[in-house]
Amino acid sequence: MTGLKNDCRPATPWQRVTAALHTWRTRRHEHAPPADDTGSPAPEPVPGANTLWRMRTTVKDEPGSLAALCTALAEHRVDILSLQTHPLAEGTVDEFLLRAPGELPASGIATAVRTAGGTDTWIERADAHDLVDAPTRILGLAARTALDAAELPLALRQLLGRCTIRSQPARAGGGRASEGVPVEGALDDTVMRLRAPEGGVITVERPYLPFTPTEFARARALVELDARLGPRVPHGRDVLTLAEGNDITVRRADTRDLEAARAMHERCSDRTLRLRYHGPVGDADRYLNHLLSPRFGRTLAVQTASGRLVGLGHLLWDGDETEVALIVEDAWQRRGIGGELLGRLVAIAAEGVAGVCMP
């Protein structure tokens, strides 16, 4: 296939895809439910080892409630590494990062918490990334969002944990999908709805754990930051040499590439357009504005040394999964461009998406 031109034989695109998928699978545990929730057997504890846990529980808003909880954890030799409190009308939600003996299972911690007065307890495995304090982590997510509009769904997912995020665009004909959603957004237990900058709606859903007002405020602040900064994509680009010696450039694309993408469509055969869009060839152009918008995913463009656009690869957010879709102009097919795009997009998806769907 193709790749960088050097003295060593480069990895094929499918080898890069396999490696990226392996990385994605090993990182999925970061936001997955604990083993007790999935029915999978828990790993065997290592004697003397400690385990990190994230736990959330509700306690009564009265003196001594939190102290009783901390005492119960201490009796089981559980260290509290960090604590955040989320006041509610009916009590206080306490969110802990815990370090517990390896032989103490999640069920043992939950039982101790319940005995001490905690209710609606939820616990999952944590890792070293969770040791970063909340303000630092939130600032990092804000910086990523500021540099790239397409980072917003990933930033929300890392902020809120395992959740489903959907972006509904504005209605055709000038209608706004955000009608009915207050300017400040709406929070309803496990669902939050936020106004998107272009008139659409961002819906975030987490069925296993209600959102707190603090989480809602943080998510809303990220979306407002994204709206204030407007459309933006990184300007970096990579120049690659194909096997026959031609150079191509791979870079991020956005709606400013709309005309070049339409021109590429005109050079594509009907068969290529049908395979890409799975519908009438005449409708192909109408998808481009949505596909090139960073609000709904990431797009990579391939252009020749003369600046002609000859390929597009889309990574489209769809709830807690993502779909990879490719199109390469007929005259540039079978040169490894599609494989190069696929490998790069899967690697991007591995950074934080719950699943990659390649139909």
Confidence band of 101 (pLDDT split at 50, 70, 90): very high
In contact, 129 and 95? CB cutoff 8 Å? no
Per-residue pLDDT at 30 = 38
Q: Tell me the pTM.
A: 0.64
| pLDDT tops 90 at residue 184 | no
- For 4, residues 6+ apart whose C-beta sits below 8 A from its C-beta are 10, 240, 241
**Same structural domain for residues 258 and 350?**
yes
The answer to whether residues 179 and 249 belong to one domain is no
Q: What does the block give as tokens for 246?
A: 């031609």
Residues 58 and 159 in one domain: no
> Is residue 284 domain-shared with residue 315, that is, in the same domain?
yes
Q: Whole domain around residue 172: which residue ranges?
A: 136-229
pLDDT in tens, 130-154: 788 788 888 999 998 898 888 888 8
Same-domain check for residues 96 and 188: no
Residue after which a domain boundary falls, among 229, 257, 290:
229
30/66: higher pLDDT: 66
Contact assessment for residue 109 and residue 53, using Cβ atoms and an 8 Å cutoff: yes
302 touches 314 (CB < 8 A): no
For the cut 70, the answer to whether the pLDDT of residue 104 exceeds it is: yes
Phi then psi for 14, rounded to 5 degrees? -70, -30
Q: Which residue has the higher pLDDT, 235 or 306?
A: 306
Establish if 6 belongs to a structural domain: no
Q: Does 203 share its domain with 102?
A: no
3-state secondary structure of 124: strand
Is the domain of 310 the same as that of 216? no
**CATH code, 283:** 3.40.630.30
